Amino acid sequence: MEYTNNYLALILTTALLLAPFALGDYDCAIKSPAEERDPLLRHRVRNALVELIEALIINNKDNYYNSIIYNFKGSPDSPPNNIYIKGWCPYDVSKEVCAHWIAVIATQMSKACPTSTSAHMFHGSICYIRYDTKNFLGQPDTDAAHVGYGTARVMLFYFDYFTKKVDELMKMLTEMAPTQRNMVGTGTTKALLAKEISDVLRRKVNITGLAQCSTDLNKNTCLECLNQAKKELSNGCRGQLACHVFLGSCILKYEAVFF
């Protein structure tokens, strides 16, 4: 495991150093007030990111979450600056897969905007990474979102019944996750998709769900994030047999499997 993480970090470091030559930074031309006051800020952020993302991967915690606060010296006429970085994956993603995709999307971020002092990116429902010179750790971070679902939908006749089952499960898990030490809630409910109990074509399904927050949140901010995810899921996923809503600091997902 240690060899794998070190290897990923080595590749990531090389990619980050070469990235500015791969793609221009047209979309990154707008500078923040802090960058206007401190012309070397972007350069120092970039140098810090190489070390930070490497550490993020190597020191990945058991709950698939890590964050780092890095203080670097400003230019002679500016105060010290912090850079904050967070990378995390849902509970059902292995540490090896999490480390791999954190490395991949960190490289993609660097290529897309090599001189930016803030960026974020999702890889589907696998992982999320963000860095910024403003402290966002501990905040719900609901502005960033990724919603995904498959093509399979429940039949119209069962729509209301199935939706109610999903809503009940999501409500239970949303209330459970903030109370857990690892901020994870999992559960399963059963549904019977049939017109009548005697219907020979009836199909049973297990609906499995996950609610999770990144562990920089507390109980209240976790619940705030999950409630927002629940609204997004209710609006965008109704009738879908599988769906996820991945926000910057939490994820809510479910999948219905026939048996």
The amino acid at 43: H
pLDDT at 135 (0 to 100): 84
- What global pTM score does this model have? 0.78
pLDDT at 256 (0 to 100): 92
Domains and CATH numbers, the chain: 2-137 (3.30.430.20), 146-258 (3.30.430.20)
In three-state secondary structure terms, 254 is strand
Query: Which DSSP helix (H) or strand (E) runs through 255?
Result: strand 250-258
17 falls in which pLDDT band (50, 70, 90)?
A: very low
In this prediction, residues 36-42 reach a mean pLDDT of 75
65 or 50, which is more confident: 50
Burial of 249 (0-12, 13-18, 19+ CB in 10 A): buried
Highest mean pLDDT among 67-71, 116-120, 148-152, 219-223: 219-223
In this prediction, residues 163-170 reach a mean pLDDT of 95
In three-state secondary structure terms, 247 is strand
**Would you say 133 and 81 are in contact if contact means Cβ atoms under 8 Å apart?**
yes
CA distance 102 to 33: 29
CA R_g for the chain = 21
Tokens of 66: 């890590």
pLDDT at 200 (0 to 100): 45
- Triad 55, 61, 65: Cα angle to 5°: 85
pLDDT at 150 (0 to 100): 84
Provide, rounded to the nearest whole percent, the portion of the chain with pLDDT above 70. 69
151 or 57, which is more confident: 151
23 falls in which pLDDT band (50, 70, 90)?
A: very low
In three-state secondary structure terms, 85 is strand
Concatenate the DSSP letters of all residues of 17-36 into one string.
HHGGGTS--GGG-PPPHHHH
Concatenate the DSSP letters of all residues of 172-185 into one string.
HHHHHGGGSTT-EE
